[in-house]
Amino acid sequence: MQTLAVLSMKGGVGKTTVALGLASAAWQRGERVLVIDLDPQGNATMGLGVTNPEFTMNDVLADPRPGIAADAIVDSAWGNRVQVLAADRSLEHRNTIEGPLSSQRLRIALGNLPRQYDLVLIDCPPSLGEMTRNALHAATDALVVTEPAYFALAGAEQAVEAVDVIRLASNPMLNPARILLNRVRPTVAEHRNRTNELRETFGPVVLDIEVPERNAITQAESAGMPIHAWDSPAGRELGTVFDQVIAIMSPRKRLWG
């Protein structure tokens, strides 16, 4: 099962937005998606319209036997094609390392899920700590999100390195990281310079397609709607952008049903 972790060291760069945009693109393609919220802020959980879940990722990681994850999965407000393993503040408890298998807990928990998904998306918190390490041990793919800003280069470099360490040391299923630029305003000189700098440093690791800055993103998020259902020129533009991102990151379309 393809499992894509969306990560960055820096906060507020658009991890959750990208995770939800990709969930929306897969939803639009008619695929079955599981979104795993690994951030105690629970923004992906909120964006998918899940409120007061009975079980959260805190329960799943506290007791990673496979059946527990199955019990914690709930439908999103987008319908039963997009399901959620929710987060809330209690997930903070899992941020510390607990025992030798600490960073394998998510991978173990996801063994034997009750149904197959076309895509599993993991929304990471803004750090390369224990939650993100758990995500990378369970993932087949990693997408580093960055803004075209001054500290972006160093931050992206550290995130790509973190992916490499786990790939080479302990998760051979994990592909090399890709980088996605978010909140780009091409008319701003600073954005152009930082984008060029990032592309020169990382070459083809950076996706050609970039996510522009558009108010429609925040509007759709606060309405709890997939961006593909946001009926405005900016909504359609963003839908096309995320279609292209998912075509690169998850080219396999489901072949059944």
Ligand X SMILES: Nc1ncnc2c1ncn2[C@@H]1O[C@H](COP(=O)(O)OP(=O)(O)OP(=O)(O)O)[C@@H](O)[C@H]1O
Give residues in contact with ligand X (CB under 6 A): 11-17, 39, 41, 43, 126, 182-183, 211, 213-214, 217-218, 221
To the nearest whole angstrom, how small is the minimum distance from the Cβ of residue 126 to Mg ion? 7
Tokens of 105: 């807990």
CA distance 23 to 83: 10
To the nearest whole angstrom, how small is the minimum distance from the Cβ of residue 5 to Mg ion? 13
To the nearest whole angstrom, how small is the minimum distance from the Cβ of residue 170 to Mg ion? 25
To the nearest whole angstrom, how small is the minimum distance from the Cβ of residue 66 to ligand X? 27
Decide: is 195 part of the binding site for Mg ion (CB under 5 A). Answer: no
Selection from ligand X, Mg ion, none that 12 binds (CB < 5 to 8 A by kind) is: ligand X
Q: Which is nearer to ligand X, 66 or 224 (CB)?
A: 224
Q: Which is nearer to ligand X, 108 or 134 (CB)?
A: 134
Decide: is 43 part of the binding site for Mg ion (CB under 5 A). Answer: yes
Name the pairing type of β-strands 79-85 and 74-76.
antiparallel
To the nearest whole angstrom, how small is the minimum distance from the Cβ of residue 39 to Mg ion? 5
| The three-state (H, E, C) secondary structure of 6-33, written as one string | EECCCCCCCHHHHHHHHHHHHHHCCCCE
Interface residue with Mg ion among 16, 56, 58, 103 (CB under 5 A) is 16
CA distance 120 to 94: 21
The 141-146 sheet, strands edge to edge: 74-76, 79-85, 33-37, 119-123, 3-7, 141-146, 178-181
Q: Which is nearer to Mg ion, 43 or 146 (CB)?
A: 43
Which of helix, strand or coil describes residue 172?
Answer: coil
Selection from ligand X, Mg ion, none that 107 binds (CB < 5 to 8 A by kind) is: none
Length of the chain: 257
